[in-house]
Structure formats: C-alpha cells, structure tokens
Amino acid sequence: MDEKQANVKRRLILVRGLGLAGGCLMCIGARNATAAKTSKAALLYQERPHDGKRCADCRHFVAAANDAATGTCDVVDGAINREGWCIAFAPRI
C-alpha cells in the first residue's frame, strides 16, 4: 500500500469516527431532553383515582420516605398524591 492510499484510508476512518461520535452525542442530547418533567395541567393530573387507576400503582410514581400519602413522579412535576391520576399512567409490571 502506498502512502496516498494510506492517507485516504486514514481520512475515511477519521470521517466515520466523527460521524459515529456525532450520532452518539445526538442520542445523549435526545435522552436528556426527554428527562424534563411535564406540568400537572398538561397531563390532566387530578387528586383522585380514575377508573380504579391511581398513582400508587403507576411505574412512574416514587413514594416519599417520610410521607405515606405523597411522593414524586418521573414524568409529572411537583408533589404527587398517591391516590391521584394523570394521562401518563402506566401500570407497574
């Protein structure tokens, strides 16, 4: 392999590596963008169950260690009533 072919091959590897790195950065940015919480109003949050569904049974609900009645949510912003409900409800598996 002569020097010219080696330079072309190095450039090709460099360009592909930069493309891969850019793709990884885009994925990381997209994941961080989805981590933002949504307002209660936007998700139609209510303080009471809906059709037997309640926050305490949702996979997004995190019970508070010091208060049995409230907790937080991975999706909804603010304090959450364990008896509440919103349209982001997803049953625990």
Question: What's at 13, amino acid-wise?
Answer: I
Residues 70 and 54 in one domain: yes
Q: What is the CATH number of the domain that holds 43?
A: 4.10.490.10
Total domains present in the chain: 2
Strand partners for 84: none
- Quote the pTM value: 0.62
Tens of pLDDT, residue by residue, the chain (93 residues): 677 777 778 877 767 766 676 665 666 655 555 569 999 999 999 999 999 999 999 999 999 999 989 999 999 999 999 999 999 999 998
Residues 69 and 80 in one domain: yes
Residues 47 and 92 in one domain: yes
Residues 13 and 54 in one domain: no
Question: What's at 28, amino acid-wise?
Answer: I
81 φ, ψ (degrees, to nearest 5): -80, 130
Residues 56 and 89 in one domain: yes
Domain hosting 24: range is 1-36
Residues 31 and 76 in one domain: no
Encoded tokens for 56:
């305490």
Helices (H) and strands (E) in the chain, counts: 1, 3
